[in-house]
Amino acid sequence: MSCYQLIYSSRPKVEVTESLVSEILSQAISRNNSLHISGLLIYFHGMFMQLIEGDKTAVDELFNSIQLDQRHGDISVLLQKRSEQRCMPTWLMGFSMDNEFSNQLEKQGSYIPFEEAKEICSLMPIEVGKLFLDFMNDARGR
């Protein structure tokens, strides 16, 4: 079944702590389930990148909330399109980051180890996967 996909990047306005990430994830897991939204959220090098996918009305509704969220700014929409199929399995919003919070967040259900997230992205349609892989392979500051 076809779906609508939106990818954006943003910069947090607040310090990204484990409890902040945990709060975002618990909000995301319950609301995304009820909106039948799946996708992928990556936090890397002080930036977020997120794919949200599902019915267009649900994606628009969620993205409106995300845009109003004071916890981040500098939101850039990188891709918006219809797709024949979802990139992520039904109703899963995978989350990945490459730093020290990972061990604790693993218990929160949707956590995907960073290297595994790269593998998942390498199997996605090129248009979507390349945006994430470029983001996750960015060597700035390393």
Ligand X SMILES: Cc1cc2nc3c(=O)[nH]c(=O)nc-3n(C[C@H](O)[C@H](O)[C@H](O)COP(=O)(O)O)c2cc1C
Question: Where along the sequence are the contacts to ligand X (CB under 6 A)?
Answer: 10, 24, 27-28, 31-32, 41, 48, 50, 52, 62, 65-66, 69, 71-72, 93
Read off the tokens for 61.
């509704």
> Nearer to ligand X by C-beta: 90 or 126?
90
By C-alpha distance, which of 76, 103, 95, 91 is closest to 36?
Answer: 91
Are 54 and 37 in contact by the 8 Å Cβ rule? The answer is yes
Residue 87 CB, shortest distance to ligand X, in Å, is 14
User: What is the distance between the alpha carbons of residues 111 and 95, in angstroms, rounded to a whole number?
Assistant: 5
By C-alpha distance, which of 35, 72, 70 is closest to 52?
Answer: 35
Cβ neighbours for 34, distance < 8 A, ≥ 6 positions apart = none
Residue 8 CB, shortest distance to ligand X, in Å, is 9
Residue 71 CB, shortest distance to ligand X, in Å, is 4
Residue 62 CB, shortest distance to ligand X, in Å, is 6
Residue 43 CB, shortest distance to ligand X, in Å, is 8
> Nearer to ligand X by C-beta: 3 or 28?
28
Give φ, ψ of 115 to 5 degrees.
-65, -35
> Nearer to ligand X by C-beta: 46 or 126?
46
> Nearer to ligand X by C-beta: 12 or 126?
12
> Nearer to ligand X by C-beta: 97 or 126?
97
User: What is the distance between the alpha carbons of residues 47 and 44, in angstroms, rounded to a whole number?
Assistant: 5
